[in-house]
Every structure is written in C-alpha cells, then in structure tokens.
Amino acid sequence: MNYIAVKSYESLSKQAALLIAAQILNKPNSVLGFATGSSPIGTYEELVSMYKQGILDFSKVTTYNLDEYVGSDENDKNGYRYFMNEHLFSKVNVDMDATHVPNGVCEDPTHEGKRYEDMIVGAGGVDIQLLGIGLNGHIGFNEPDTHFPDTTHLVDLTESTIKANARFYANEAEVPRKAITMGVGTIMRARKVILLATKGKEEIIQRSMYGPISPDVPASILQLHPDVTVIEVI
C-alpha cells in the first residue's frame, strides 16, 4: 500500500488529480474508474483546471463509474450520472459516449449489472479506480456482508447508508433503497486504486488497512491489492 498523508482536502484533491493526470498522460486512452460523493469533488475540480490549462486531454479516455441508484436517470439531481455530468464530464473534452454509469432506469437491474461488467471487461479493464469509503467500510455500494461480491450487481442499501444519504433528500422516505454497483472483484481487478479518506474517516481507514481482511469491512480487501494508494487527511 502506498500512503500519502495530507493536511487538507485541497491537498488530497491535488494529489489524487496528479495520479489520474499521470495515468492519462502515460496512456491517453486510459480506462478511468470514477466515484461520486463528497470525497472526489475537489479531485474533479483539479482535473478540470488541468484540462483548462491545456495539460490534460480527455478525448481518448473511457470512464466507468462505480454505481448508480435504481430509479435515477440523468435528470435526477441526486443521481450519479447527473453528478458526473455536472462535476466533470460537461467541463472537459471527454466523448460522452465513452462515459459509463450503470443505468438506474433499466428494465432489469440484474441484467444491467452483467451488461456493465461485460463492457468493463470488453474495454480491457479499469486502469485506475478512484474510491471514497463509507463509515462502515463500504466501497462502491458494497456494504458489510458475509462475502465479497465479485461482479457488478444489484444491492439493497443498508440503514446506515440510507441515513447518510438522507441529507440530500427532503426526507428519508425519498432516499433510494437499491443501487447497482461494481462488485468488490470489479474494483480489485482495476490495475491501480486510489482511496480518498477525508476528515472523519480515520477510524475506518485504520480498520480497513491494518485490521483483519473480512467482508465485514469491504475495503479491507484492498490490503491484497498490488497497487493501492490511500490519500488521507490527518
């Protein structure tokens, strides 16, 4: 594990953006794995800024996002496709057809999981995957479980995740109950992983990186990943 300790969210964002920028500069047609949530917003701002300065070209990249709520389409302001369009895709020269988020309004979410996984494999796999982490150790929407789910699949969100997400909705009843997420296996097959740990994540990072490897703490499996960089605000 590579570990970068930083003093601020701005530094975390800059460090993460530099790693992604290096990936794109080394391989312009990289397959980038993206996350949503509050942790990566600053990283996307840095990437947009590097694009505007002429340092980065997104025209050849392909992107795959970790997850999407069942029921969310591109117009849902709390949906993850909307988030990515808003924070990154509409601000850089990425080919929109090369950006992928699981389809939250598909007919059959189980089939959508398989379709999404097959597309990632067909693209040659993810070169670099950006991750946030939930307070319960979830990565993507892989919640604490009795096993590590392998491929992209349909999940029921846990009460703690529903409560954490409620801040974005008028009331808790409106928070989606289901999502489609890359599996832990999908994440582990990415060639590089960057894990963002913002303030307040110290305890779960400690448990994930130094505790027992167990599906109770999904992020703990990253201890077995050959190229993971944890960037933590301390």
Residues that bind ligand F6R (CB under 6 A): 35-39, 66-67, 132-134, 138-141
Which among 39, 53, 76, 50 is positioned nearest to 164, based on CA atoms?
A: 39
- Strand stretches in the chain, DSSP E: 2-6, 31-34, 62-65, 67-69, 99-100, 128-131, 153-156, 178-181, 192-197, 228-233
Nearer to ligand F6R, 32 or 139 (CB): 139
User: CA distances (Å), 139 to each of 10, 36, 61, 197, 205, in order?
Assistant: 22, 11, 23, 12, 12
Nearer to ligand F6R, 67 or 127 (CB): 67
Q: Which of 68, 103, 127, 138 is catalytic?
A: 138
CB of 68 to ligand F6R, least distance (A): 9
Active site (annotated) includes residue 136: yes
Q: What is the residue-wise DSSP string for 182-222?
A: --HHHHHTSSEEEEEE-TT-HHHHHHHHHS---TTSGGGGG
CB of 164 to ligand F6R, least distance (A): 7
Active site (annotated) includes residue 143: yes
CB of 131 to ligand F6R, least distance (A): 6
Nearer to ligand F6R, 98 or 134 (CB): 134
- DSSP state, 161? H
Q: Which of 45, 57, 136, 216 is catalytic?
A: 136
Pairing status of strand 178-181 against strand 153-156: antiparallel
Active site (annotated) includes residue 65: no
Nearer to ligand F6R, 28 or 172 (CB): 172
Active site (annotated) includes residue 73: no
In this chain, which residue has its C-beta nearest to ligand F6R?
132
Q: Which of 67, 117, 127, 232 is catalytic?
A: 67
Q: Which of 143, 153, 165, 225 is catalytic?
A: 143
Question: Which residues have a Cβ under 8 Å from the Cβ of 84 and sit 6 or more positions away?
Answer: 34, 36, 63, 65, 99, 101
Nearer to ligand F6R, 28 or 156 (CB): 156
CB of 167 to ligand F6R, least distance (A): 10
CB of 53 to ligand F6R, least distance (A): 26
Maximum Cα interatomic distance, the chain, rounded to a whole number of Å: 47
The set of catalytic residues is: 67, 136, 138, 143
